[in-house]
Structure 1
Amino acid sequence: MANLYADKQWAAFREQVIELDGGVCVECGRGRPDGVVLQVHHKHYISGRKPWQYDPSDCETLCRGCHAREHGEIRPDSGWEYIGEDDLGDLAGNCELCGTAIRYVHYVLHRHWEQMGVGTNCCDALTGTREATETRRRLGRFRRFLASSKWKRKHDCHTIKHRGFRLAVVIEPTGCRLVVDHVQGQNRYESVLHAKEFVFDFIDSGKAAEYAKRRRLKS
């Protein structure tokens, strides 16, 4: 269920409910311009139904404080689980914990609380980890990898030398194929982007270095 709250369909549904309620908490009448964080409360739950598969009338907009009172709980300060992230492209969102304008939304969930979309610092504070910080840095590295001027394209092949590895993405009728240091991969990728994302993760995670070390030992 955790991953459901990181789904963009939930984010879109949540904003729809907030818009239908006039962008304010239905209890206290305050909105984001007043510095409050707005959340969507399900009035009831139906087993097997995804959070965005409810009719908007089954939900209502509450500020964080009113939402806490509705549940009769105080938001936990620890024990949160990091479940996903989204890059909005610019400062288009607001942290649901502190209200700060954010670009990177990190989704966290607690067994006694609903999912929240928060900024990097608040995410790390709630989870007691540096997952959000490391994820944001990884996203930055990935964007730079994709936009690198070192990528060369000749006919149906994209090539680059990255962190000591010679990479090639070969476009074929059945999909894209990866070649790393002249070793051809067996997998096929539906697009150049998917192939580049895979090979970026392969190198960035350190798995490529481990693989290269094993090959050297065998030879």
Structure 2
Amino acid sequence: MRGKVSCIALCALLAGCNGWVKPEADGQLNSNYFTVVSGLPAPGLMVASAVQWNADYAVTAAHVPYLSGLAYSCSTRCDLVFIRRKASGPLPHWRAPRNGEAVTALGSSSLLVPVSSRGRVWPVPYRNLREPNQELYGIHDAALAQGMSGGPLVGADGSVLGMNIGYQASGRGRMQHPGLKGARRVSVFVPYAVIEREWQLFQARLAREREAAAGRRLQASNP
């Protein structure tokens, strides 16, 4: 892989924005995500977005506090959680991003208005030094704003490529990495491969729990 971009200034809470986002009226695009809000003891304090993963679960950003339906957190403490949520329509098609492809970042604004921005994927992995792991995220240069955290990054073919989590704040040396030459900004997303990896780990955990429960039932029936 090409050299890492390492930074401690990942604005994970998306407090503000790193560029212009516009209201999005395309219902087909907006069907790729839904709005989530923080729950008790801070109900509605934070607005974010989430993406349906399959018929029973969705994914969103781990930094959204007090989520209802929380089912699984990333094994490396990356910014990803699965929440229980029955799909209410067609499931999105997920795939890995391709370097240089055109993308649309989608999500709900803090005022609950659907918004979007456009850019492209860059071939440089991103590591957030505030996280106690070596997780490599993806980079695109579409703008992100508060409320889009947990929302989808969508390819031109309509596939979901990953989940937006934040952006690198502007500052000295932000674009010095040669792999980012020409990038308008650095926005960060959890790529499909990481989400799929964590889903498999989640399923393995559920299988172990089912096996353990079956063992306890068998033991109880044969004292």
- Structure number having the greater strand percentage: 2
**Larger Cα Rg: Structure 1 or Structure 2?**
1
| TM norm structure 2 | 0.27
Relative contact order (alpha carbons < 8 A, sep ≥ 6): 1 or 2 greater?
2
| TM norm structure 1 | 0.27
- Structure number having the greater helix percentage: 1
